[in-house]
Amino acid sequence: MLEMRMDTRSGAGKSKTVDFSFAVAGMSCASCVYVVEKELGKVAGVDYVSVNLTGGKAYVVGDGRPDRDDLFAAVKRAGYQPLVDLPSEEEVERKFRLVGRRLVLAWAVALPAMLLMVLSMSGVRIRYMEFLEAAAGIGIIIGPGRQILKGAWVALTHRHANMDVLVSLSVVAAWVTAVLAGLAVPIQSFGALAPMLAAFHLTGRYVEARLRRRAGADLRSLMSLKGENVSAIGADGTVWELPVEAVKEGMRLKVRSGERIPLDAVIISGSGAVSEAMISGEPLPLSKAVGDEVIGGTVLESGFLEVEVLRTGEDAFLARMLVLVEQAQGIQVPLQALADRVAGLFVPVVFGFSMAVLAAWALFYPSAAMWLERVGDVLWWVPAGAGGWTTAVFAMVSMLVVACPCALGLATPMALSVGNGLAARNGLLIKGGEALQTAGELDVLLFDKTGTLTEGRPSVVHSSLNAADASALVSLETYSVHPLARAIVEWNGGESGETLNTPTPQDVKEEAGKGIGGTIDGVQYTVGRALDAVDVEVRSGHSVIQIWRDGSSAGFLVLADEVKPDAVAAVDALKKRSVRPVMITGDAEGTALSVATMVGIPVKDVKAKLHPEDKLRIVQDFQQSGLRVGMIGDGINDAAALKAADVGFALSDGTDLSMEAGDVVITHGGLKRIVEALTLSSLMVRAIKGNLFWAFIYNVLALPLAAAALVHPLMAEFAMSISSVAVLFNSLAIRRRYERKSRRTSVKE
């Protein structure tokens, strides 16, 4: 169905951002995409448009002014059909079978026509052959090929040209030669080509549809994780079945062994082994017990759980990930910019060129006849001695067929479809085209420390605070999003184990990189990074938080944070890829150096005691020196650096702000996913470059040959289909190459 999301977090005085995502029916090539994007871009208030040919979807970002009706009207002006509801899997399957039936009918007409053509080329004359060819052409035009002509008519009536226009002109031109030859006009009949061109074209479409379905398998497998019915537990313990859409936050659900966990929840009773393979790519099930969170879409392989629902609808993890994946399918890669501009002009330019070639052969055939006869001695299909008009039609039809920009339109979206689906299954969401193109070429990767290289779950190991100041500290930290805040709140009992009374603070304000402050019982408290006076406490890698009461120091807390188990291997893998790891942190230098030593980051590449603006400056300094910079973090103080970096990696268990700023979101799997993201980026860009190269080189080489009447129309149609299929297979190969490289370079757990 049509999806619309609003972002009103941009601040006072700024307009809200509205995202639309909806299906578009009827597109067949890159020219269609170009026209739809152009029309949508004309709508007032639209800031960004991306149309994905492979998925048949449009993604639009606006400033709040455009609504659904405006966008749908724009798509209709382009000649295509916007869909409120996406086609169901059953509807997609039905249409796929219909394409298959049309293909069978097309070849049922084309094969006899092919036989007639072979007999004619062998010197066998069949009475009324031209009329038989014309009849076969009519059969294909009003039968299985009528959808091609319909698509061409829609495009032309909306003042643009697409692949259907080129194929239709080729089919009609070939059919007209049969009619004219049958009426004794001195022109050779190419009537047999009409059903054969349509049959080859429909074959190419069928193969494309089949391979596109295969390319979208990863995304469909994610969508299939959505549950249908759940076992809800009432207040009296009664269990009943109800649709997952009816579940609300706070409801209790029962999950049995082998069942899929329907929604994000927390375990309130029971334990079991949960497989997160379809979400994170982790092959081994994880042990879960009371208090642990579980993700909707994962499977309880063994055990029994009672859970309390935490998130439903669009807020659920799986729903948010599907939205991001679908957005990622439509990202614009800079490599594609030239291809889009070429595709938008390609069809009308080639059409004009083919008409010029038609006229040139008709007028100047005598001058080239001798050359054509010599070529015909080598290339038997060249129409040597056939006359000016016959050669002109032959060359024109060949050019129209050669020029179909199908491969050009599939080059980028197919690679993105395969790559993003694979990334989502492995805990990665690549959100931006620039990031996709740059990630595999990074020179430097900047790491935040807390929550990135370390677990982000520190514990208090020492306190110099009295009970009143400790209570004030805990009260303030309940309002903080800093990774250390949770540890302080959980420490609530203090070292004595007694629960502290936590008064409600007033005028709470948190400033990224500096700390949090507020007023409690008329006293102004401030919490932040410790001063040098207590720096002695961090020599072993501990973190120190200092508290000020009315401007005077009230004491400090010392916290310890464990290094993540995969941090060492991740840093080592980056070094092997010639990516320089650098730590940038707001923590004290002693803490930073200790963690850096443990994970393998050189001392010279450790930058400590930084504010958010310092992190931003470091990113910019590296960029100004000509290096491509990546940044990974999970806190509010990382957001600016994440946004400024060439590629920002955000951990999904971090704050919402860092996730929004990140170009690549790591949903699961930890730091090892960074290396996998770089690998996948390299493979996707390599596939896109390869696809664009073959799409361009095919047209660059084939068009001049077709204009010179050296390419038979059937050969042109076959070559066009082969180029499209080659693009599809090259994109599908991303999965195989990724799995092979992952086995060779994967980070050890």
CB 475 within 8 Å of CB 612: no
Provide the 3-class DSSP secondary structure of residue 317.
helix
Provide the 3-class DSSP secondary structure of residue 439.
helix
CB 425 within 8 Å of CB 218: yes
What is the β-pairing status of strands 81-83 and 17-25? antiparallel
Q: How far is residue 422 from each of residues 54, 278, 433, 735, measured CA to CA in Å?
A: 15, 11, 16, 7
Q: Can you read off the two tokens belonging to residue 485? A: 């805040």
CB 479 within 8 Å of CB 615: no
Q: How far is residue 25 from each of residues 82, 85, 212, 371, measured CA to CA in Å?
A: 6, 11, 15, 47
448 is catalytic: yes
Q: Which helix (H) or strand (E) covers residue 738, if one does?
A: helix 713-745
446 backbone dihedrals φ, ψ, rounded to 5°: -90, 130
Nearest to 726 by CA among 480, 408, 333, 475: 408
Cβ neighbours for 341, distance < 8 A, ≥ 6 positions apart: none
CA–CA gap between residue 507 and residue 519 (Å, rounded) = 6
Give the distance, in angstroms, between the CA of residue 653 and the centroid of all CA atoms in the same chain.
21
Instruction: Kindly report the number of other CB atoms within 10 A of residue 736's CB atom.
Output: 10
What is the β-pairing status of strands 647-651 and 523-529? unpaired
21 backbone dihedrals φ, ψ, rounded to 5°: -140, 125
Give the distance, in angstroms, between the CA of residue 404 and the centroid of all CA atoms in the same chain.
26
CA–CA gap between residue 709 and residue 163 (Å, rounded) = 21
CB 554 within 8 Å of CB 537: no
Adjacency order of strands within the sheet including 506-511: 459-463, 552-560, 543-549, 523-529, 515-520, 506-511
CA–CA gap between residue 443 and residue 434 (Å, rounded) = 15
CB 745 within 8 Å of CB 576: yes
CB 267 within 8 Å of CB 305: yes
Helix axes 163-182, 334-376, angle to 10 degrees: 20
225-248: b (≥16 Cβ within 10 Å) or e: bbbeebbbbeeeeeeeeeebeebe
CA–CA gap between residue 202 and residue 191 (Å, rounded) = 18
Q: Where are the alpha helices (DSSP H) in 493-626?
A: 567-576, 589-599, 612-624
Q: What's the DSSP call for residue 668?
A: S
What is the β-pairing status of strands 606-607 and 580-584? parallel
Q: How far is residue 89 from each of residues 2, 344, 353, measured CA to CA in Å?
A: 16, 31, 42
What is the β-pairing status of strands 17-25 and 57-62? antiparallel
The 3-class secondary structure across 91-157, one letter per residue, is HHHHHHHHHHHHHHHHHHHHHHHHHHHHHHHCCCCCCCHHHHHHHHHHHHHHCCCHHHHHHHHHHHH
Q: Which member of 164, 218, 448, 646 is catalytic? A: 448
Q: Where are the alpha helices (DSSP H) in 454-611?
A: 467-477, 483-490, 567-576, 589-599
411-436: b (≥16 Cβ within 10 Å) or e: bbbbbbbbbbbbbbbbbbbbbbbebb
Cβ neighbours for 337, distance < 8 A, ≥ 6 positions apart: none
Return the amino acid letter for 448.
D
Provide the 3-class DSSP secondary structure of residue 189.
coil
Active site residues: 448
